[in-house]
Structure 1
Amino acid sequence: MPEAQKKQALSDHVSLPIIQRDPYLKPYEHAIEGRYRHAMDKYAELTQNVKSLSDFATGYMYYGLHKVKSHWIFREWAPNATSMCLIGDFTRWQELPEFQLQRINKHGDWELVVPESAIRHGQYYKLKVYWNGGSAERIPAWADRVVQDSATAIFSAQVWHPECPYVFKTKFVPRCSPLFIYECHVGMAQDKEGVGTYEEFRTKILPRVVQDGYNCIQVMAIQEHPYYGSFGYHVSSFFAPSSRFGTPDELKALIDEAHAMGIAVIMDLVHSHAVKNEAEGLGNLAGDIYQYFNQGNRREHSQWDSLCFDYGKNEVIHFLLSNCKYWLEEYHFDGFR
């Protein structure tokens, strides 16, 4: 049923098809229709200035660090910040005037533009953020590569713009019916002691997956997380594939190889909560602990010891939907759990 007809059905008090097909849902009809109506209203709100929800979910193309022609552009959403500066290897970790961000609108967006020569592939960086009453070094929310120093255990963002970026070779359309899913964790998938890699999974595990008759892999712990023992469920950097297993290009090669073997690749996507860590995560990016998360007793998830996103904010929805599109478009994942 088209969306227009569904909306008309609701206004005419005609049950949604899902309720008509399943009589056991009849007692919950009011709640289901109320949630559906709210979803349709939110959809209309988010897409009022764009053609589709996909067009809305393009934040990863705007925020973060991007090389554009002969310069670099960096943007961050931080409405509570009073000042921000990009620091890193390229500034010798000092605050320099030429790397000071400028607030560009009332919405809280900050921007920096520097020449192409100012930043190089592989360099480490962070944000130095100031707010009324405090300051701290932070990893940008939209960072697409984050690494941990083996000596200090400190995480930093890393510029990832190789001279020869990975080019996907396989055009893949999933035709997995019935679906046989092999759930896996790249770091724990092998017999060896230590953490496995994307490259080892590609060469050693994928052939076994095919041999055993699976046509899909569901990969855990892709998004960067400070604590390895969390199995990837305490995410800190939502746009960064975990560097414990290798480089972004090695993950792309894994997915490309799986597709060449006829295997669909599903990502275990964590959007229900985030890690509490402030130095690595989003918990206190710019002095406002509620920027991304709920207020009051709804902020923390007691069972997971984590933070719960505030889905009532369009900026948070923009962040999370853009994250979905990012993994689909940039890494060619076929779907999510």
Structure 2
Amino acid sequence: MYDFMALDRPSTPLVDRGIALHKMIRLITMGLGGEGYLNFMGNEFGHPEWIDFPRGDQRLPNGKIIAGNNNSFDKCRRRFDLGDAVYLRYHGMQEFDRAMQHLEEIYGFMTSEHQYISRKNEGDRVIVFERGNLVFVFNFHWTKSYSDYRVGCLKPGKYKIVLDSDDPLFGGFKRLDQDAEYFSKEGWYDDRPRSFLVYTPSRTAVVYALVEDELEPAGGPRLILTNSM
């Protein structure tokens, strides 16, 4: 995505789709990829077009010449400055990556012994899983948003949103109430002893945590939604 990435220009459906899926893919990789998350080659967004080191023309044994790039350094770089540019949409993508790291720092879900995938609904395009005391809800559907969507959970209590890919800080559309509270209900659902209802907008990833896990001062984890860190 090269065009329409400046915040002072209207976005396009292509850009909106790309940014939304980029965030979801990163989070589901971090959430289900094991005990580590590698942010390296192929997982960053600092490539302007492609990586091409300076090289001259090359003559093959058969005499054919493979053209070089005139020893140009133009593509021999990564544009990490794009993420720091607050006037570009890349900045929101970088903020989301920081928020994921902050979420792991607070909750340590990647090393938790409790991991369970409770829903993989091909029709709804929804994936729900637990890691530690966090519940991850992904809606990959390109148009459908679901109200009162029931998701299973292990522990009883009140849940809150601690990470929302649709937050405006991350280039989202603010379709969720960050102050909403979600109360678990007894009864088996998706092979879980309890469940709660959520609103899951299309192409979003949302992480819910038990309120009992909230750190002091109150609202600490919400820093990932309001600060640049």
Q: Please, what TM-score do these two structures have when normalized by structure 2?
A: 0.28
Tell me which of the two structures has the higher relative contact order, counting C-alpha pairs closer than 8 angstroms and 6 or more residues apart.
2
Q: Please, what TM-score do these two structures have when normalized by structure 1?
A: 0.22
Greater strand share, structure number: 2
Greater helix share, structure number: 1
